[in-house]
Amino acid sequence: MRALEPWVEAPLSEFLAESAARLALLMTSAGQVVAQHGFTRALDVMSAAALGAGIMASTFELAKVMGTRPMGSVVHQGSAVGVYLASFDTPRGRWLGLVVFGRETSLGLVQLFFATLASDLARAAPAEEPPRQVLAENFEAELNNSLRALFGR
Amino acid sequence: MPLVNFTTREITCKLVYYGPGRCGKTTNLLYVHGRVPEDRRGNMVSLATQSDRTLFFDFLPLELGVISGFTTRFQLYTVPGQVYYNATRRLVLQGADGVVFVADSQARRFDDNLESFQNLQENLLEQGVDIRQLPLVLQYNKQDLPADLILAPPDLDDAFNFRGVPSHSADALHGAGVFETLKTLSGLVLARLATRPPAP
């Protein structure tokens, strides 16, 4: 499991153990990965987050067009695995969860324990840290070297 | 602002390519995808129509390397350019850390560029983002076309670059200007992390 901040790990671990989900991904509503379990490549998890955030964003817009309340979750049920996507509010803003589950569990269990996860995360979120400078002021040389290496020029 | 993970020392930035339909946004990403080593990029995700027009977005994750001790990743997105896809453009633009506005240099596309640029400003404003505060790079694409069909970069600067942001001539199909555009925007986005902290 990889988590953006340590306080996310315990609630997510508990969710995974209780729900028996195979993959789980927590992200911001803009598709930035906050925590994940089960994905092996950082770049693949970013693609999954982008697609998940896109689905939820379009679901919210669809609800607006239809004049209904926003739908908080979406389920895609395949023959072998299902995907549960849901949004929830945290003190750090609206987050989204993408959960992939198999026949060893059920949508009902995933939904049940996801609700617990959402409330656990809302409780566990610490007070926001004061902002701080991230990069050294002379980062440009490293950036240029990295881009040269990336593009081979 | 970019997502910063102080525990694992990672930075993730969302960069969006914006512009009118058929200006070359997807072509920019395809060129980058084709040039970057496989272990430094993910698969390019394209949500497109059957005729390969972008329906929702294209997405390409890149791993830049380590900058100031932080593993730095870029998420490159394109928006659908056609006027009637504004709802999806707004969604993709959400949370953008920087924008490349790709203008089609053909003189006959001038009004389309203008409309798209105004639409960018409107959509940002709707999200509470002042375009003057967001890292922005202009790319004048298709500069390889015959001179009588296109507007020269100084003319395009006069029309669109009233803020004096960086601009690049490009031929995205063959790669000219693609790298330079991405490099400039990367620098602008990361410079904000060096001069001001990320929003909590």
Pairing of strands B136-141, B54-67: unpaired
Residue-level pLDDT at B118: 96
Residue-level pLDDT at B8: 77
3 state SS of B25: helix
pLDDT digits (tens, 9 = 90+) for A113-146: 999 999 999 999 887 766 666 777 778 888 888 8
Local confidence band at A5 (pLDDT 50, 70, 90 cut-offs): confident
Q: Alpha-carbon distance A103 to A110, whole Å? A: 12
Residue-level pLDDT at B85: 85
Report residue A114: phi and psi, to 5°. -70, -40
- Kindly determine whether residue A46 and residue B75, on different chains, have CB atoms separated by under 8 Å: yes
Q: Is the dihedral of CA B76, B82, B83, B88 positive or negative?
A: negative
Give the CB-side neighbour count of residue A120, counting CA atoms within 13 A. 15
Structure-token match 């991405």, residue found = B182
Residues contacting residue B5 through CB under 8 Å, at least 6 positions apart? A4, A5, B11, B12
DSSP output for A31-64: S-EEEEES---HHHHHHHHHHHHHHHHHHHHHHH
In terms of C-beta density within 10 A (0-12 exposed, 13-18 middle, 19 or more buried), how is residue A48 classed?
buried
A-chain CB neighbours of B67 within 8 Å are: 135, 139, 142-143, 146
Residue-level pLDDT at A129: 66
Chain B residue at shortest CA distance from A62: B87
Residue-level pLDDT at B196: 58
- Kindly determine whether residue A147 and residue B183, on different chains, have CB atoms separated by under 8 Å: yes
Q: Among A32, A139, A144, whose Cβ lies nearest the Cβ of B12? A: A32
CA of B159, closest CA in chain A: separation in Å?
A: 30
Residue-level pLDDT at A121: 94
Number of other residues whose CB lies within 10 A of the CB of residue A6? 10
B-chain CB neighbours of A136 within 8 Å are: 68, 194
Q: Alpha-carbon distance B176 to B87, whole Å? A: 31
Residues in chain B: 200
Instruction: Identify the segments of chain B with pLDDT beneath 70.
Output: 195-200
In terms of C-beta density within 10 A (0-12 exposed, 13-18 middle, 19 or more buried), how is residue B189 classed?
buried
What one-letter code names the amino acid at B161? N
Residue-level pLDDT at A131: 63
Q: Among B45, B67, B197, whose Cβ lies nearest the Cβ of A50? A: B45
Q: Is the dihedral of CA B162, B164, B170, B175 positive or negative?
A: negative
CA of A46, closest CA in chain B: separation in Å?
A: 7
- Kindly determine whether residue A133 and residue B193, on different chains, have CB atoms separated by under 8 Å: yes
How many contiguous H segments (helices) and E segments (strands) does chain B have? 5, 8
Which of B29, B45, B56, B68 is the best mutation test for A, with the most CBs of A within 10 A? B68
Which of B9, B72, B75 is the best mutation test for A, with the most CBs of A within 10 A? B75
pLDDT digits (tens, 9 = 90+) for A10-59: 999 999 999 999 999 999 988 889 999 998 888 889 999 999 999 998 89
CA of B183, closest CA in chain A: separation in Å?
A: 7
Q: Alpha-carbon distance A3 to B11, whole Å? A: 13
Residues contacting residue A116 through CB under 8 Å, at least 6 positions apart? A14, A15, A18
Question: What six digits make up the tokens of A136?
Answer: 């050294």
- Kindly determine whether residue B12 and residue A46, on different chains, have CB atoms separated by under 8 Å: yes
- Kindly determine whether residue B95 and residue A51, on different chains, have CB atoms separated by under 8 Å: no
How much is the ipTM here?
0.80
Residue-level pLDDT at B31: 96
Q: Alpha-carbon distance A121 to B171, whole Å? A: 47
Q: Alpha-carbon distance B154 to B19, whole Å? A: 19
CA of A133, closest CA in chain B: separation in Å?
A: 5
Local confidence band at A6 (pLDDT 50, 70, 90 cut-offs): confident
Residue-level pLDDT at B101: 98
